[in-house]
Structure 1
């Protein structure tokens, strides 16, 4: 199994089981140990590779333990501190990591609740763990650009120098991406003022601030919507000709603001929306556009007829690097078809229309 597939398999497990895991020990058994063994490739039962409850006396703090230490050639390379999966990770949870980082040879430390993995090093001061992670991996919303960096920590591809050298760029690029996403969700005064000053010549009064806060939020959402629709039109232009109903499906339902929201645990991606629009356009050869709906979940994005989960048309499994289009037969048995591009959905147009026709 390829590295990206191993991460994808664990991400699916996390999405399916997260609600059932309530304690720290359960988090370790269900998510942390599989990440160390299945994803990174270390033998969790070999003390020469993985030491659980790793102890190193630190000043007056005697007998404190870090949950796991990953070893190479007899030296500690990575320290891991675990918290329950239902808890939000805070830097205050990393007190042992801070102390151990200074007295061991470790250059990397990980704070995790099994769902989110925060990776730390010593960019700010030698042998002193940074207060902010240089890389954050969320298994409920995997950023594919981070996978090559995570792979450098695996047993078969361990390359500490490479990941340390890339850490500064990863730290700031990741932080900037999260900051931009936060501004799209809820524009700050500085963000609003930045754009207002470029389109409005008057004074930035309280009334103007309130007016442009709503306008900047609306413009941001419309910008994303138009970007998605432009890409969709390009994709459709390369596919089969559209009927009037299919054109209506694309034109009449731009990406809704709720689909672009990142405020919930379920994150609907722009690519899922594009793929949904393609499935909808294909389906409109059989039924009216308004009957094709969608529901997103942690496991997959569903395209339904009449907003009825008993009438699934297709399922989009886009949470891993390898994307799958799930299609169901008359017995509702799903077959996953790997696709490299959402344009490949057109090759399954006949199967999609058959599914709609069965329910209609």
Structure 2
């Protein structure tokens, strides 16, 4: 698996197991150690690379420990402090990281509950850990723009200078994005006032504020939806989505019988945003072997087909997202027989990356 696929696989594990993880030790074993090993690429069983329960005396504080220290060339490079997965992270949890940051060579500190990873450095003052992270990785809501930055911390391509040089920009962009996101759910008065005073000429009274709170909230959400749809249309190569019914003639690919719940659907074909997002994931996987324009889609009444070269005889996968109970991804063997695999989230498509690439290669042969 490549780096993004490894992240997606760990994210799936966190999603499936987080409700059953109740202690800090369980969080370390189930989530944090796999992150250090499968994502960052360090050997958690080699004390020359990863030191658990790392101890360094700090002033009058004796015997305090940080959960993990990642070593490179005999020196501490990354400190990791862990908390229970069921607890949201707070800056108070980072007290030991603050102390250890000043007495080691580490320039990167990580506070995590196994689901969210907060990365810190010393932008505000040398050798003093900042109070705000420069990068926040949420495994249950991965920001794809951060994946290349996290990869810089891996054993194979560790690039501290590049990380530090981009940390300030990442820090403020991340904070701005999180602030904007918060306004979409619970808009503050300043946010409402900002837009209201630009479209309404009267006084900004309490009554006006109450009226425009719902209007601004609705407008911002509609704007976001418009932007998402515009990007999807651009990615799909046109202003109108192709909803052509798949050819079911003798030339078409044979498939297993359609489930009764699919037959009961309305006769109209509706291409959903979720289907398009799934298509983009499959397309991204397939593009490791073919050009992006070769991967196309056709929406039918009972499934969403993803094809190579827009050819029904070259199916890559089918998305069966029409059922309210269970979603499936249909994958094909060398004889073009389809097998449906249940998935609970779009991230799980990445778990079938090898099969998708294998199908693409068969069609090329």
TM-score range, shorter chain: 0.7 to 0.9
Aligned mate of 2:326, from 297, 306, 309: 309
1:50 & 1:61 partners in 2: Cα distance?
23
Kindly state the Cα deviation for residue 39 of structure 1 after the two structures are TM-superposed: 1.1
Q: In the alignment, is the contact (CA less than 8 A) between 1:48 and 1:71 conserved in 2?
A: yes
Q: Does residue 319 of structure 1 match 2:319?
A: no
Deviation track 1:175-226 (CA, whole Å, cap 9, x = no partner) reads 1111111111121111111111111011111111110001001111222333
2:154 & 2:329 partners in 1: Cα distance?
39
Q: In the alignment, is the contact (CA less than 8 A) between 1:58 and 1:103 conserved in 2?
A: yes
Kindly state the Cα deviation for residue 242 of structure 1 after the two structures are TM-superposed: 7.2
**Over the residues paired in the alignment, what is the CA RMSD in angstroms?**
3.5
Kindly state the Cα deviation for residue 249 of structure 1 after the two structures are TM-superposed: 3.4
Q: In the alignment, is the contact (CA less than 8 A) between 2:269 and 2:299 conserved in 1?
A: no
- Change in Cα spacing, 1:270 to 1:198, as seen in structure 2 (3 Å) is farther
Q: Does residue 239 of structure 1 match 2:260?
A: no
Match of 1:144 in 2: 144
1:63 & 1:106 partners in 2: Cα distance?
19
- Change in Cα spacing, 1:309 to 1:49, as seen in structure 2 (3 Å) is closer
1:106 & 1:269 partners in 2: Cα distance?
44
Q: Any idea what SS the aligned residue of 2:77 has? A: strand
Structure 1 segment 100-179 matched on structure 2, within 5 A: 100-179=100-179
1:67 & 1:233 partners in 2: Cα distance?
46
Structure 1 segment 25-174 matched on structure 2, within 5 A: 25-174=25-174
Q: In the alignment, is the contact (CA less than 8 A) between 2:232 and 2:276 conserved in 1?
A: no
2:329 & 2:198 partners in 1: Cα distance?
47
2:125 & 2:80 partners in 1: Cα distance?
20
Unaligned runs of 5+ in 2: 247-265, 282-297, 304-318, 331-339, 361-365
1:302 & 1:240 partners in 2: Cα distance?
15
Q: In the alignment, is the contact (CA less than 8 A) between 1:317 and 1:323 conserved in 2?
A: no
- Change in Cα spacing, 1:206 to 1:272, as seen in structure 2 (3 Å) is farther
Count of paired positions: 298
Deviation track 1:303-348 (CA, whole Å, cap 9, x = no partner) reads 233x33399998585438x85889xxxxxxxx96469xxxx9xxxx
Deviation track 1:69-90 (CA, whole Å, cap 9, x = no partner) reads 1111111111110101111100
Q: Any idea what SS the aligned residue of 1:166 has? A: helix
Match of 1:260 in 2: none
Give the structure-2-normalised TM-score. Answer: 0.72
Q: Any idea what SS the aligned residue of 1:198 has? A: helix
- Change in Cα spacing, 1:311 to 1:44, as seen in structure 2 (3 Å) is closer
1:43 & 1:285 partners in 2: Cα distance?
46
Deviation track 1:16-62 (CA, whole Å, cap 9, x = no partner) reads 11111111001111111111111111111111111111111111111
Match of 1:185 in 2: 185
Q: Any idea what SS the aligned residue of 2:326 has? A: strand
